[in-house]
């Protein structure tokens, strides 16, 4: 009787001649992909190279999308942006040597912005160590100062384990980037699956939602109860910890005026009675209690010197090293912003006396008066009909254009400084800027990340013409992947923030040294690459052009010619020019 042939499953073990089953094997690149999948990574941003292609093969099998960009800096910025939008770790994969060095700026930006991303870099084969292999550089040594964790994977069996280790480090304390260098022979080699530890996502990580010392929660609740002129600054960690709802409850329940910076913008919607923006300097000079949440005393805060010396100052932060740095404080709490604020709200509820409540209402009215007076003083410029266009008019039109579903991205110097005074995102997590490193060129990568993470959201990006030039060629990537957004270039043919400083220090006759750009038609650039473009020279045309860009359904650039002789107050007040 003839034996009927049976189909062998593709992944089944094959019987060896001696009857023993051969072990199931897996390559290093496929282990990378399995580890990324376990972490919830669903997209990697990359620029191809021979050292890393086995990772691509693994990503295809694991259903992880591979987005190829035109410059490794873009890949790193996109991974950073993806982490900011989703709260999940972002991942960029680049080749060895110049591929990794090109990504350094994106990693450094993520470090200062406290963004949890992993950069995976290629490396020559371990068997060729110190022999001068193609693109061999000491990547780990270069990355150590700008990451929370940097290591070489020494064996294929350790690939997934070290990926998980790198991600744990990303989330230890204040988040930040990690770097893994994986030699080519480690990626290409295959090992038995039984010998390769593949951690299951989330099952090896502890909770990070600490409230610090419960006694300090009680102490802060008592300080709030006895304060007549409190205020709070809600910084980026409010969004990082997804503590927006807890922050809103804290502010409203305890009747505390709130200011926001960085990714904390949008925590309270415009028009909320506790939402203030323009009276911050006045509040910091006159408050009796100042609570700083998730924001360091860095240059944006005058290193803490802008706070009243007579005020009680409380700082809440994920990182112990940040608390009390550059300025003495009265109380420091190391913990999760949302968890701490929720605990304080519960502890302080019902403690505020009627006299204190009345005084606090008067304080809110006082701040609202300062806010309204500053706004009215600036309003004529927001409605200016001048041509070239006043930057205040441009950012006013953008603010009017935003909806509750618009993610706003600012990428530039002087023009984005203008927008920081006027543009108000209408929802939490809907503001993105470079962060404290001040890196230009994040705009296009952040657009890419935002549209991948939240395809249901509209993305509106404002670029300085100098900033756009750094990574603008990846506009083509947005066209290629059909990622529509509304882009605006505030074009003054200058690196105007630096230009102002040069004029202030050296005089007008040296104000054009090293900072002047060509009169580039970015609208035509967008059309050339398959997007939508318009040129605007008159202020009344800004709004209609933005609407047409939205309706186009394409990546777009509206090229708006703004007055190069007008500078943002923040630019003119920078201490480096004093």
**What are the pLDDT digits (tens) for 275-297?**
999 999 999 999 999 999 999 99
Residue 3 lies in a domain: no
Q: How far is it between the farthest Cα atoms of the chain?
A: 101
Alpha carbon 437 to its chain's center:
11
Of the residues 371, 393, 410, the one at which a domain ends: 371
11 has pLDDT over 80: no
Tokens 């220090």, residue? 505
Which pLDDT value is given to residue 3? 33
Phi first, then psi: give them for residue 440, nearest 5 degrees: -80, 150
Q: What is the pLDDT of residue 47?
A: 96
Q: Are residues 146 and 284 both part of a single domain?
A: no
Beta pairing, strands 25-27 & 190-192:
antiparallel
Average the pLDDT over 159-180 and give the result.
95
pLDDT of residue 485: 98
| Residue that wins the pLDDT comparison between 3 and 46 | 46
Q: Please indicate, yes or no, whether residues 409 and 326 belong to a single structural domain of this protein.
A: no
CA 358 from centroid of its chain's CA atoms = 39
Same domain, 394 and 329: no
Question: What number is the average pLDDT over the span 191-208?
Answer: 78
pLDDT per residue as tens digits for the range 541-571: 999 999 999 999 999 999 999 998 888 887 8
With respect to residue 404, please indicate whether it lies within any of the assigned structural domains. Answer: yes
Residue 202's pLDDT is what? 56
Average pLDDT over residues 184-195: 92
Helix (H, G, I), strand (E, B) or coil at 562: strand
As for how many domains the chain has, the answer is: 3
- 9 lies in some domain: no
Q: Are 80 and 119 within one domain?
A: yes
Q: Are residues 393 and 511 in the same domain?
A: yes
* Residue 377 covered by a domain: no
Q: Is the separation of the CB atoms in 113 and 124 below 8 Å? A: no
Nearest by Cα to 24 from 175, 212, 194:
194
pLDDT in tens, 317-338: 999 999 999 999 999 999 999 9
Task: Please give the pLDDT value at position 299.
Answer: 87
Give the total residue count for the chain.
Answer: 578
- Whether 209 is covered by a domain: the verdict is no
Domain carrying residue 533: 383-577
pTM of the entire structure?
Answer: 0.92
User: What CATH number should be reported for the domain holding residue 269?
Assistant: 3.40.50.1220
Share of the chain above pLDDT 70, in %: 94
pLDDT attached to residue 18: 52
Chain centroid to Cα 65, Å, comes to 21
What was the pLDDT predicted at 576?
59
Residues 533 and 443 in one domain: yes
Same domain, 405 and 365: no
Residues 427 and 468 in one domain: yes
Domain identity same for 557 and 464: yes
Residue 133 falls inside a structural domain:
yes
Query: Which of 325, 348, 371 marks a domain boundary?
Result: 371
Query: How would you classify the pairing of strands 65-68 and 117-123?
Result: unpaired
Do 526 and 435 fall into the same domain?
Answer: yes
Q: Which two tokens stand for residue 68?
A: 């190829």
Render pLDDT for 339-372 as a digit per residue (tens, 0 to 9).
999 999 999 988 777 667 788 899 999 999 999 9
Six token digits for residue 400: 């009017």
Q: Residue 524: in which H helix or E strand, if any?
A: helix 522-528
- pLDDT score for 14: 36
**Burial state string for 61-98 with b = 16 or more CB within 10 A and e = fewer than 16:** ebebeebebbbbbbbbbbbbbbbbbbbebbbbbbbbbe
- The CA distance from 341 to 346, in Å, is 9
Is 14 among the domain residues?
Answer: no
Cis peptide before 388, with omega less than 30 degrees from 0? yes
Bridge partners (DSSP) listed for residue 192 = 25
Residue 199, sorted as left (phi over 0), alpha (psi -120 to 50) or beta, turns out to be beta
Nearest to 412 by CA among 236, 540, 570: 570
The pLDDT score that the predictor gives to residue 16 is 43
In a domain, 206, yes or no: no
Measure Cα distances from 459 to 397, 405, 523 in Å: 15, 8, 18
Residue where one domain finishes, among candidates 346, 371, 396: 371
On whether both 452 and 329 belong to a single domain, the answer is no
One domain, residues 406 and 356: no
What CATH number is given to the structural domain containing 112?
3.40.50.970
């Amino acid at each position: 009787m003839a034996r009927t042939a049976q189909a062998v499953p593709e992944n089944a073990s094959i019987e060896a001649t001696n009857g023993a089953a051969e072990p199931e094997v897996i390559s290093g690149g496929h282990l990378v992909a399995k580890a990324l999948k376990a972490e919830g990574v669903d997209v990697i941003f990359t620029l191809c190279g021979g050292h890393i292609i086995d990772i691509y093969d693994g990503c295809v099998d694991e259903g992880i999308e591979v987005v190829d960009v035109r410059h490794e800096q873009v890949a790193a910025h996109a991974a950073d942006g993806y982490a900011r939008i989703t709260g999940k770790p972002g991942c960029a994969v680049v080749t060895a040597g110049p591929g990794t060095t090109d990504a350094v700026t994106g990693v450094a930006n993520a470090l200062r912005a406290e963004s949890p991303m992993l950069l995976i870099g290629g490396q020559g084969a371990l068997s060729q160590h110190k022999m001068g292999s193609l693109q061999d550089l000491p990547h780990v040594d270069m990355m150590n100062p700008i990451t929370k964790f940097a290591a070489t994977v020494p064996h294929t069996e350790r690939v997934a384990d070290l990926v998980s280790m790198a991600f744990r480090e990303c989330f230890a304390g204040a988040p930040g980037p990690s770097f893994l260098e994986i030699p080519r022979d480690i990626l290409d080699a295959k090992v038995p699956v039984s010998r390769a530890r593949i951690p299951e996502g989330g099952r090896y990580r502890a909770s990070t939602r600490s409230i610090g010392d419960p006694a300090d929660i009680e102490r802060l609740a008592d300080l709030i109860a006895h304060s007549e002129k409190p205020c709070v600054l809600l910084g980026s960690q409010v969004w990082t910890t997804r503590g927006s709802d807890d922050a809103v409850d804290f502010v409203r329940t305890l009747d505390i005026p709130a200011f926001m910076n960085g990714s904390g913008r949008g925590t309270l919607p415009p028009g909320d009675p506790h939402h203030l923006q323009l009276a911050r300097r006045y509040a910091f000079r006159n408050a009796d209690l100042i609570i700083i949440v998730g924001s360091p005393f860095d240059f944006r805060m005058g290193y803490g010197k802008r706070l009243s010396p007579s005020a009680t100052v409380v700082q809440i932060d994920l990182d112990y090293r940040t608390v009390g740095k550059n300025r003495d404080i009265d109380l420091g709490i190391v913990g999760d912003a949302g968890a701490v604020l929720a605990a304080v709200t519960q502890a302080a509820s019902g403690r505020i006396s009627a006299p204190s409540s009345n005084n606090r209402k008067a304080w809110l009215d006082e701040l609202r008066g300062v806010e309204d007076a500053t706004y009215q003083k600036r309003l004529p410029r927001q409605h200016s009909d001048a041509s070239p266009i006043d930057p205040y008019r441009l950012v006013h039109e953008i603010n009017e254009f935003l909806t509750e579903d618009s993610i706003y991205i600012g990428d530039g110097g002087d023009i984005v400084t203008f927008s920081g005074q006027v543009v108000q995102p209408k929802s939490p997590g809907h503001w993105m800027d470079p962060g404290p490193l001040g890196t230009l060129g994040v705009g296009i990568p952040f657009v890419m990340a935002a549209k991948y993470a939240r395809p249901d959201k509209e993305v509106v990006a404002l670029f300085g013409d100098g900033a756009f030039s750094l990574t603008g060629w990846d506009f083509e990537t947005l066209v290629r992947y059909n990622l529509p957004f509304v882009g605006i270039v505030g074009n003054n043919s200058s690196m105007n923030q630096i230009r102002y400083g040069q004029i202030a220090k050296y005089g007008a006759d040296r104000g054009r040294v090293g900072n002047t750009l060509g009169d580039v038609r970015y609208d035509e650039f967008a059309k050339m690459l398959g997007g939508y473009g318009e040129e605007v020279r008159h202020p009344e045309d800004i709004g209609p052009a933005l609407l047409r860009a939205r309706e186009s359904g394409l990546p777009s650039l509206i090229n708006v010619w703004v007055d190069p002789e007008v500078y943002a107050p923040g630019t003119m007040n920078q201490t480096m020019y004093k």
